[in-house]
Structure 1
Amino acid sequence: MRKVNVPVDMSSEQKAILGIMSIRQLIYVVASGALLYAYVPFIFSLMGSISTTVKIIACLISALPIIAIVLPLAFIRKRNYHMFLDYYLLIKFRAKTQHGIWRKGSKPKKWMEEL
């Protein structure tokens, strides 16, 4: 049987947006941008008569938790498992809820005896 090396990783997600971002990553960036757009102006107007530089610093500090959550989920890849962090965490959290009842049989199956 002949082996042929494929030059492109067929199992990874395709970079659809200008060859830089995938659709999944774009959804993360757009959703976090919309969330920041929703509450950062509110925080800016909440400061009242404080100077503009203090307002901007407060807005940046309030945006840091969203950025610190979204960027790793969208862009960090777990090399050992060949998947991104969001999918890896989804599998890990789902595995904690799956409990099986395993029993050991009293006698071996037929296919085990033939070997």
Structure 2
Amino acid sequence: MSKVTVPIDMASEQKTILGILSKRQLIYLVAGGGLIYWYVPFIFALIPNPVVGVIASVIGAAPVAAVVLILGFLRKEKFHMDYDKYLLTKLQYKTQLGNWRK
């Protein structure tokens, strides 16, 4: 039986949106962008000085942007998983433990 090497990665997710984003990544970007679009005007309105308001808005949007980038775009290479799937697996670990009898 002969072995043939496939020149492309068959295990990675398909980049269907313009060839650079997957559907999962697009959902993260839309959800994070919507959340930032919702609460940044409140932060900007709290501060009367426009320059300080912009700085406070950027600082307020940074945690959401960091979470979206980590969960949507980074991979845990040791386990060959994206971080969102890795974290879900870690959270479900306790529910999968059972009492084993010999």
Q: TM-score range by the shorter chain?
A: over 0.9
Please report the TM-score for the alignment, with normalisation by the length of structure 1.
0.83
What percentage of aligned pairs have identical amino acids? Answer: 59
Matched residue SS, 2:92 = helix
Q: C-alpha distance in 1, partners of 2:78/2:36?
A: 33
Please report the TM-score for the alignment, with normalisation by the length of structure 2.
0.93
Matched residue SS, 1:9 = coil
Q: C-alpha distance in 1, partners of 2:92/2:43?
A: 36
Aligned to 2:26: 26
The counterpart of 1:95, out of the listed 79, 93, 96, is 93
Q: Unpaired segments of 5 or more residues in structure 2?
A: none
- Output the aligned Cα RMSD: 1.1
Aligned to 1:14: 14
Alignment of 1:55-74 (within 5 A): 55-74=53-72
AA matched with 2:66? A
2:41 corresponds to 1:44 = no
AA matched with 1:99? L
- Following superposition, the deviation at residue 95 of structure 1 comes to 0.8
Q: C-alpha distance in 2, partners of 1:80/1:54?
A: 42
Q: C-alpha distance in 1, partners of 2:55/2:62?
A: 11
Aligned to 1:2: 2
